[in-house]
Amino acid sequence: MAEKVLMKGNEAVAEAAIQAGCLHYFGYPITPQTEIAAYMAKRMPKINGSFLQAESEIAAINMVLGAAAAGRRAMTSSSSPGVALKSEGLSYLAGCDLPAVVVNIQRGGPGLGGIQPSQADYFHATKGGGHGDFHMIVLAPSGVQEMFDLTGLAFDLADQYRVTSMLLSDGILGQMMEPVDLAAPPPRELPPKSWALTGTKGQRKPNIVNSLYMNPEDLERLVMERYERYAQIAAAETRWEEFLTEDADVVVVAYGALARVAKNAIAAARAQGIRAGLLRPITLWPFPKAALQALAGRAKAFVAAELSMGQMVEDIELAVRCARPVLRCNRTGGMVPTPEEVLQKLEEATA
Amino acid sequence: MTPARITVFAGHYGSGKTTLAVNYALRLAREGRRAALCDMDIVNPYFRTADYADLLREGGVELISSPYANTNVEMPWIPLESRRVLDDPALWSVIDLGGDDSGAMAIGRFAAALREKNAALWLVVNPCRPLTRDVESLREVRDAIEAAAGLRFTGMVGNANLGQETEMATVLSSLPLLRELSRAMDLPIIFTAVETSLAEEAAGALTPEDGALFPVTRYQKAAWSVWEPKKA
């Protein structure tokens, strides 16, 4: 095992991108993700990469689109209000079938909201993220090691399926420091980027990257093909963690930093004799529906814990087809529940 | 060791400046001095000395901090009260700076006064941080901080740790590297900071080059700090 280093979550994201061969970072500062840009600004010039502080979030995402169209690995990062601004570019990336990685270190909203952690962009990330029919792969890390690992995976998945991968994280994970093993993941075999705009050199017909179709039949066919790819992603790339679910009467569903709070609550519940467990989605899209359905056959109740007024809860209720009660545990605006607050819900669910 | 009346903790982001500053200020107070901790972090809106307000009050340390620390108002702020750090000859003061040169800029305006009062400026180094684990990188950080602060470092503090995963091996394996960095920077190691629970065991491994042993308590523990149940 490689020697571990101590890193902030945001730094781990930046380092993972660099190790994944991302030489093009475009961003605009916003708390609590600025360390990503700061790290890139320091490192990129030393490895002949490009760091560019764009004039706006919208400019940055369109620079990513340009680099991606040229077949390069490119990334941008921001926090909630800034990611919302990128919605136009996210839709165009999908419409052009370009692989890219976008990081959202969420903060409280709506509007400018606050700078404390949040998970209130779940809808934005998992239900499109822009106009038109499309999905992004949404990865939700739960610690600094996963900030590193899932960023690398985000690049591979984006290239494999020609989609945008979004790392949906939050201010806690971005700012917290933990030891990280910077070992590279095993390489994936990825398709060649034969569609990229790299210059024909007179050897082939020009490639075209475009999202405008004058003929609705063509557009429908392309969108439908895209949805076949989404089905492949759902079948092959859905990821989740189960913690003490084998005998659980009540299962907390939580992701990201909040899943860690939930684990502490579950340990406390177990100490009181409550058989509690956790299902932690690692991909929020595709959502681990089948795993939840399986648990619905055994568990008596679920608790949807979120740093929002309840967004993922809708996917949980759909997944278990409302066959079991789903209690809610919500804090918002930058507030984080204590393990005791989650424990109280576990007690209610099993009362 | 007789402390300087004003001690400034500077260094790379996440090197442990705040933790050390809090521990050092509490120690000054325990030694019977009138102590103050002055938060001049203009970079990081999180994990501020304000987190330790209760602890510092109970430990007899006056906290001089921005009223906006740890709020939703992200405002770089140098407290007006920080003037007393310079002016009050009976106040033993510890200044906690933000990371890197962007953080060090905050004391630039006080550089002349700090020089005149023989303030100590310590470079906090955690060699487990990826951008300060070799001479070249640390020199870059040091030079940038000195340029921004308008001051030269007077010493180095070794603070090798991996947060909650810090073990004896983390401390011991870092000692030779810290010595190498100290020689290359031409800065004596004033303290080697070691987690209180490991301090006794570490003491035997320290040489005079490692400076004094500084037992440090890491007070931060959050709701999201997870201890997974040990596998049977």
Q: What is the ipTM of this complex?
A: 0.91
| C-beta atoms of A31 and B74 within 8 A | yes
DSSP H/E element including A152:
helix A144-161
Dihedral sign, CA of B61, B67, B68, B71? positive
Round to whole Å and give the CA distance between A286 and B25: 50
Q: Does B43 touch chain A (CB under 8 A)?
A: no
Q: Is A257 on the interface with B (CB under 8 A)?
A: yes
Structure confidence at residue B75 (pLDDT): 80
Per-residue pLDDT band at B221 (split at 50, 70, 90): low
Distance (Å) of CA B119 to CA A107, B7, B47, B116: 39, 6, 25, 8
- B136 close to A (CB below 8 A): no
Contact A263, A337 (CB under 8 A): no
- Looking at CATH, the fold of the domain delimited by B6-214 is given as Rossmann fold (3.40.50)
Using DSSP's 3-state secondary structure scheme, residue A267 falls into helix
Instruction: Check CB contact under 8 Å for A6 and B228.
Output: no
Residue of B nearest to A265 (CA): B223
Sign of CA dihedral B149, B37, B177, B103: negative
B129 and chain A in contact, CB less than 8 A: yes
Contacts of A106 (CB under 8 A, 6+ apart): A79, A80, A117, A118, A119, A120, A121, A168, A169, A170, A171, A307
- Residue A287 CA to residue A316 CA, distance in Å, equals 9
CA-to-CA dists, residue B15 to A33, A92, A178, B119, B221, angstroms? 19, 41, 12, 20, 17
**Nearest residue, CB atoms, B165 vs list A42, A179, A264:** A179
Q: Where are the domains of chain A?
A: 4-198+224-237, 240-350
Per-residue pLDDT of chain A (351 residues; tens, 9 = 90+): 458 999 999 999 999 999 999 999 999 999 999 999 999 999 999 999 999 999 999 999 999 999 999 999 999 999 999 999 999 999 999 999 999 999 999 999 999 999 999 999 999 999 989 999 999 999 999 999 999 999 999 999 999 999 999 999 999 999 999 999 999 888 899 999 999 999 999 999 999 999 999 999 999 999 999 999 999 999 999 999 999 999 999 999 999 999 999 999 999 999 999 999 999 999 999 999 999 999 999 999 999 999 999 999 999 999 999 999 999 999 999 999 999 999 999 999 998
Q: How far apart are CA B73 and CA B45, in angstroms?
A: 9
For residues A342 and A261, is the Cβ–Cβ distance under 8 A?
A: yes
E-strand ranges in A171-312 read: 177-181, 240-243, 250-253, 276-281, 283-285, 301-306
**SS3 state at B186:** coil
How far apart CA A310 and CA A54 sit, in angstroms, is 34
The DSSP bridge partners found for residue A250 are A276, A301
**Residue A283, both tokens:** 């991909």
Chain B residues near residue A8 by CB distance under 8 angstroms: 13-14
Dist. CA A192–CA A317, nearest whole Å: 40
Residue with tokens 């089948």: A290
Closest to A166 measured CA to CA, from A153, A183, A176:
A153
Residue B6, amino acid: I
Q: What is the b/e burial string over A82-104, where b = at least 16 CB atoms within 10 angstroms of the residue's CB?
A: bbbbbbebbbbbbbbbbbbbbbb
Quote the pLDDT of residue A1: 42
Q: Is A277 on the interface with B (CB under 8 A)?
A: no
Q: Does B231 touch chain A (CB under 8 A)?
A: no
Q: Looking at residue A71, what is its pLDDT?
A: 98
Using an 8 Å CB-CB cutoff, list chain B residues near A178: 163-165
CATH topology of domain A240-350: Rossmann fold (3.40.50)
Average pLDDT rounded to a whole number, residues B14-24: 95
β-bridge partners, A207: none
Confidence check: pLDDT of B232 > 50? no
CA distance A255 to A207: 40
Cα angle: B194, vertex B200, B206; to 5 degrees: 65
Q: Is the Cβ of A24 closer than 8 Å to some Cβ of chain B?
A: no
**Cβ pair B226:A258 closer than 8 A:** no
Q: Does B230 touch chain A (CB under 8 A)?
A: no
- The answer to whether A6 faces chain B, any CB pair under 8 Å, is yes
Tell me the pairing of strands B92-97 and B6-11: parallel
Cα dist from A66 to A90, A152, A190, A291, whole Å = 12, 21, 21, 38
> How are strands ordered across the β-sheet holding A283-285?
A50-53, A24-27, A74-78, A100-106, A164-170, A137-139, A283-285
Report whether B22 contacts B53 (CB < 8 A). no
Interface test with A, best of B224, B225, B231 (most A CBs within 10 A): B224
A338–B128 CB contact, under 8 Å: no
Closest residue of B to A268, CA-based?
Answer: B229
Region B129-133: mean pLDDT is 92
**B161 has a chain A CB within 8 A of its CB:** yes
Give the DSSP per-residue string, A13-33: HHHHHHHTT--EEEE---TTS
A177 to chain B: which residues are within 8 Å by CB? 14, 163
The dihedral of CA A332, A335, A337, A341: what is its sign? negative
pLDDT at B47: 81
A42 interfaces chain B, CB cutoff of 8 Å: yes
User: Can you give the pLDDT at residue B74?
Assistant: 75
**CA end-to-end span of chain A:** 45
The answer to whether the CB atoms of A6 and B164 lie below 8 A apart is no
Domain boundaries of chain B, sorted by first residue:
6-214
Cβ distance B128 to A6 less than 8 Å, yes or no, reads yes
pLDDT value, residue A185:
83
How many CA atoms, within 13 angstroms, populate the side-chain half-sphere of residue B43? 24
- Nearest-Å Rg of the Cα atoms of chain A is 20
DSSP state, B137?
A: H
Nearest-CB residue to B45 (from A11, A115, A338): A115
* CATH number for domain A4-198+224-237, candidates 3.40.50.720, 3.40.50.970, 3.90.550.10, 3.50.50.60: 3.40.50.970
Q: Confirm if A88 and A58 have CB atoms less than 8 A apart.
A: yes
d(CA B105, CA B100): 9
- The CA distance from B19 to the nearest CA of chain A, in Å, is 13
B95 close to B8: Cβ distance less than 8 angstroms: yes
Residue A79 near residue A31 (C-beta atoms within 8 A): yes
How far apart CA A311 and CA B46 sit, in angstroms, is 27
Find all residues with CB under 8 Å of B110, minimum gap 6, and list them. Answer: B86
Q: Residue B108 is encoded by which pair of tokens?
A: 């630039």
Contact at CB, A35 and B13, closer than 8 angstroms: yes
Is B33's pLDDT higher than 90? yes
